[in-house]
């Protein structure tokens, strides 16, 4: 079953955020747009490139009312150690959630049970706590935060403009479509 249009399931966790350990739950994902960004593990290879790319785009996401939460099955203590020892990870200012029990990873259906790690899963969640975008990538394929930002903009646009849809490669300010019988077979 797809997680699209389902509400985020309850969870409680601790995150490393701006030099502190903070409590985070599904309630924190409500009232604003959120990106939950799962990755396999700290101190690895592809993961820091993705998290650094996300950090580089974080201010623009925040300016759009979007909070970012990265999640791995490492602990919040490990997140702090990685943040303190890596120049790339050191620039992160979004919450880094620890999921050592795997509850959050299982809730989002990205847990690789055999190894106890999360898949590369990206979830865009609307202010009501409903999942609007799901993207899962194989462990050896890194994601692109600029493409994520484009998708967030599209999700926010269609949420504000019922009856319109964003075509492929849509960018903010470009034309959208209003689905109708007149368009069937014309595109």
Tell me what percent of the residues of the chain surpass a pLDDT of 90: 90
pTM listed for this prediction: 0.95
Contact predicate 155/164, CB 8 Å:
no
pLDDT of residue 182: 75
Find the helix or strand (DSSP H, E) in which 23 lies.
strand 20-25
Residue 122 C-beta-side C-alpha neighbours within 13 Å:
20
Round the average pLDDT of the chain to a whole number and report it: 95
The residue assigned the tokens 């120049």 is 87
Which positions are catalytic?
47
71-110 per-position pLDDT tens digit: 999 999 999 999 999 999 999 999 999 999 999 999 999 9
pLDDT of residue 1: 65
115-174 per-position pLDDT tens digit: 999 999 999 999 999 999 999 999 889 999 999 999 999 999 999 999 999 999 999 999
Q: Which residues contact 19 (CB under 8 A, 6 or more apart)?
A: none
> Over 90: is that where the pLDDT of 55 sits?
yes
């Amino acid at each position: 079953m797809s997680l699209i249009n389902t509400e985020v399931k309850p969870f409680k966790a601790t995150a490393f955020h701006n030099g502190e350990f903070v409590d985070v739950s599904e309630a924190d994902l409500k009232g604003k747009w959120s990106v939950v960004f799962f990755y396999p593990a700290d101190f690895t290879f592809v993961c820091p490139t993705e998290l650094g790319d996300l950090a580089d785009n974080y201010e623009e996401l925040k300016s759009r009312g979007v909070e970012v939460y990265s999640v791995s099955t490492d602990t919040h203590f490990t997140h702090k150690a990685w943040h303190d020892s890596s120049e790339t990870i050191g620039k992160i200012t979004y919450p880094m959630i620890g999921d050592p029990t795997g509850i959050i990873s299982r809730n989002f259906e990205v847990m690789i049970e055999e190894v106890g790690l999360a898949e590369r899963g990206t979830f865009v969640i609307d202010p009501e706590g409903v999942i609007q975008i799901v993207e899962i990538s194989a462990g050896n394929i890194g994601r692109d935060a600029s493409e994520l930002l484009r998708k967030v903009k599209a999700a926010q646009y269609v949420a504000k403009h019922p009856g319109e849809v964003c075509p492929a490669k849509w960018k903010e300010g470009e034309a959208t479509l209003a689905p109708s019988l007149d368009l069937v077979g014309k595109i």
